[in-house]
Amino acid sequence: MIRIFLVEEDAGALEAFRNRFDWQAHGCEICGEAGDGERAFALIGKLEPDIVITDIRMPFMDGLVLSRLIRRKMPLAEVIVLTKERDFESARECVELGVAAYLLKPAEEGELFRVIDALAERIREKNRERENSERYRKERTENFQQGKRELFRRLVTGRETPARLLEAAQGLGLELSAVWYNVVLVRSREPERADDGNGGIAGQAGEQWRKQLGDLLEKMLVFDRELEGKAILLKADSKEELSYLLNELAARLREISAVSGQNQWFGGAGMPVNRLGELPASFERAGLAFARHYLEGENRILDGEAEQEELARKGGFDIGTINPKQIDRNRLKEFLKIGRREELPRFLEEYLGGLWNDNAMKSHIFRQYMVLDTYFCAADFLEELQISRSEIRPPDMTPDAFKRAEDAAGYVTGIVSRTIELREKAAGNRYRDIVRQVMQYVEENYADEELSLNSLASSVNFSPNHLSMVFSQQTGQTLIRYLTDVRMNKAKELLRCTGKKSSVISAEVGYKDPHYFSYLFKKTQGMTPTQFRSGLSGSQEEQPR
């Protein structure tokens, strides 16, 4: 319905005007009314009507001043001015203000609704354009986010030339070139999605990032790693500047944490490198440092390079520095839940390393305790996932078992590694089933214009963000892109195999607006529907029929 607000000084005239016409027959409803411009403007700001019909001569604030204020604050609203006077100056001022119509009182129903009907169609067209623009923006944003994630993967795998990486970054509008780089991995205990698709950070969390990081954002690229947090690529002109950026980043993240009330986060920094081809080494070092968040305190960025230098100075890892009392089973439980296989060596080195030459591990009984405790911890976790504990090997508890600390450590390593493998396999199987369900749902419901990431997520009881991540990981493309591809393929089939008009095909593949369908078809297929149907290519524009 088109929402109309009435402004008229005469209460009797206002009531008559409201009741005289059949507004509903023209798809309209009266959403509010006022007797003067000042009162009207306050209400209009709250009610946000589509059309304001106002008298000119009113106390406190006349219709022309009101029209001027409305056009400034609500440029999408249309204004119709009514007056008893044939005043050329008022009419001229109305034109200058962009008033939609200037009508003499008493307004005839036919004349008034000719104007309202024309304005209603203009408003609907604007709304369609705005909705189409917002829909395309969201699709482009999700595709951009996927492009950024893919760029980061390419940066840290080391399989591509610097030229191709720089070209890929330029294609996304990102400045990658720098003299020195360092990779920092950051994750909160309760991670928030905060990527707006523009190198950016979005939402409430994003506002805090932008405000606190400020000038630092010019020296970094932020990559959203979904549930794994964020990867930050620091860029600098010198190693000294990198060190400054790292320290400043940690300080400002602590400020963000304090402001947001999320006081549990951890980061791991890699090592400074001065070539894109060396980023995988920096990423690996950052991952090792990041893995220690199961054992270290919160709200800090562990510097992987500084730690490695310290270990080298000591001649290797000092396994006598950890007291047996520091062993915390909760750390093992947490690692089994969210740890990654590549983090396992460092985690176990920290978890068990301090005991290998300590008096505790010299005790056969204590070694057996550690082995049994690890087994039961893993078995309990697997049963929570509805995986039989028979999938892991129970320890040999004969008197001669685990006579050496190395044997106990080897068993613990194997059992934890196997548990994570089973967890990932179960998750992968479940996610593959989910993706198949989503694909089937799309195939069956692609004609529904309301089909979206939110409705698809609801169909499988996932959050939209989680489903988006899972679908991208399993298929290599975004869910929105997949939905668009399905619709475009169905449209191409109908264009080639039927004589239906493109406007009819548009509705049958989920696009009520044929203009948006034509626009999106050309954007994704490189030609208009008409050109595709005739087997031609070129730049002629499609006019939906």
Task: Write the DSSP assignment of 492-523 as a string of letters.
Answer: HHHHHH----HHHHHHHTT-S-HHHHHHHHHH
Residue 536, pLDDT score: 60
In this predicted model, what pLDDT tens digit does every residue of 332-359 receive, in sequence order?
887 888 777 777 777 777 676 555 545 5
What mean pLDDT is reported for the chain?
79
Are 265 and 299 spatial neighbours (Cβ–Cβ below 8 Å)?
yes
Q: Is the separation of the CB atoms in 304 and 289 below 8 Å?
A: yes
Show the tokens assigned to 155. 């940066």
Specify the 3-state DSSP secondary structure of 43: helix
The answer on pLDDT for 537 being more than 60 is no
| pLDDT at residue 519 greater than cutoff 60 | yes
CB 384 within 8 A of CB 419: no
pLDDT of residue 135 exceeding 80, the answer is no
176 vs 196: CA distance, rounded Å: 18
| CA distance readout (Å), 502 to 59, 482, 507 | 54, 21, 9
Window from 91-95, 171-175, 228-232, 418-422 with minimum mean pLDDT: 91-95
pLDDT at 236: 92
Q: Give pLDDT, residue 318.
A: 39
So what's the pLDDT on residue 324? 44
* 319-328: average pLDDT: 45
Give the pLDDT of residue 486.
93
**pLDDT of amino acid 230:** 87
pLDDT at 441 (0 to 100): 92
- Amino acid code (one letter) for 99: V
pTM for the predicted model, two decimal places: 0.51
The predicted-structure confidence for 474-512, as pLDDT tens digits, reads as follows 887 888 889 999 999 999 999 989 989 999 999 999 988
Strands 300-303 and 265-269: parallel
Residue 14 above 50 pLDDT?
yes
In the block, residue with structure tokens 């005991």: 355
Look up tokens 């319905």; give the residue: 1
Residue 86 amino acid letter = R
Least confident of 27-31, 101-105, 149-153: 101-105
- Could you tell me which residue, 39 or 273, shows the higher pLDDT? 273
Confidence grade of residue 166 (pLDDT, cut at 50, 70, 90)? very high
Amino acid 182: pLDDT = 94
The C-alpha torsion from 230 through 236 and 241 to 242, rounded to 10°, is 30
How confident is the model over 141-150, as a mean pLDDT? Answer: 82
Tokens of 200: 């950016």
Q: How much is the pLDDT for 240?
A: 92
Domains and CATH numbers, the chain: 2-107 (3.40.50.2300), 136-315 (3.30.70), 317-445 (no CATH), 446-534 (1.10.10.60)
Share in percent of the chain as helix, strand, coil (round to 5): 60, 10, 30
Q: CB neighbours of 43 closer than 8 A, spacing ≥ 6? A: 5, 32, 34
Q: What's the rounded mean pLDDT across residues 37-50?
A: 85
**Residue 200: is its pLDDT beyond 60?**
no
For residues 488 and 442, the answer to whether their CB atoms sit within 8 Å is: no
Please tell me the predicted confidence (pLDDT) of residue 120.
84
Q: By the 8 A CB rule, do 201 and 244 touch?
A: no
Q: What is the pLDDT of residues 252-293, one digit of tens each?
A: 888 777 766 655 678 889 999 999 999 998 988 888 777 666
